[in-house]
Amino acid sequence: MNARLQLPSSEAVAGSAAELLTVLRAAPPLVQCITNSVVTGFTANVLLALGAAPAMVDITGEAGLFAGISSGLLVNLGTPTPEQRAASLEAVGGANAAGTPWVLDPVAVGALPVRTGLARDLLALSPTVIRGNASEILALAGRTAGGRGVDALDGTEAAADAARELAERTGGAVAVSGPVDLIVDAGTAIRTANGDALLTRVTGGGCALGAVMAAFLGAARQTGDSPVVAAAAATLVYTIAAEDAAQGAAGPGSFAVRLLDALSAIEPAGVAARARVEVAAAVTA
């Protein structure tokens, strides 16, 4: 990791978010998404609106090959069919062999045995970033049985130690989504406070953020930003756009459409100016 990113300032994280958005739009990253059937179209549209190029390559025989040429990979366990389970492992193998950064979204792990077993197999392959809600992160770390399906039953800060533990185990970063998002690696804890509650009322709001993180990891290969900064930058851009989308939205339906427009319209300078971010050293409680 670049020494200057061991403990970046809040201003540096906001500046990196603006820079990474600029780089992403100048050279659109190709983002492979192995994601759940409920959110495929919304996730692809979010990436397109932002300026990235989505590719939903999720079948065996192709997934590993494609991961080798992608800029970033998302593995989301929302609907883990047998084909997707095999494709996920194949894709991660291809990504690791090629040095492609990848995001693990362990949707609803804990009480459900198939996805929980797969998540732990994937965890052993060292994801670049893990993104989930607090209950998912706690369950993945083996500390609880998980939440109520995709819904978190725990607050973000309750998962802080588990997130840091997972980051140390993988050598990457862990992003815990909530009213205040927490993004950590072994030494850094970044908290971001942008966003709007309407994100929780749109199917795929969190899943699409995992894809955005994969896109920002692809851009970070050009800038040298660390995974924890790239994940925080993705969170800031996405949640600031959500604030814009909520202005004038009549409810979840119009918010979802407005979010695509807001992601397309968001400017790097606005991200840097509006970012609500705090940085601290990650410590054991």
Q: Which residues are annotated as part of the binding site?
A: 56, 131, 177, 204
- DSSP bridge partners of 76: 105
Between CA 268 and CA 20 the distance in angstroms is 9
| Residue found under tokens 């990196």 | 16
Residue pair 160/184 in contact by the 8 Å Cβ criterion: yes
Supply the DSSP string of 189-220, one letter for each residue: EEEE----GGGGGSTTHHHHHHHHHHHHHHHH
Structure-derived torsion over alpha carbons of residues 21, 176, 204, 33, reported in degrees to the nearest 10: 60
Residue ranges for the known binding site for ATP are 131, 177
Residue ranges for the known binding site for substrate are 56, 204
User: 61 φ, ψ to 5°?
Assistant: 90, -20
By three-state DSSP, how is residue 183 classified? strand
Between CA 186 and CA 242 the distance in angstroms is 29
Largest Cα span, the chain = 47
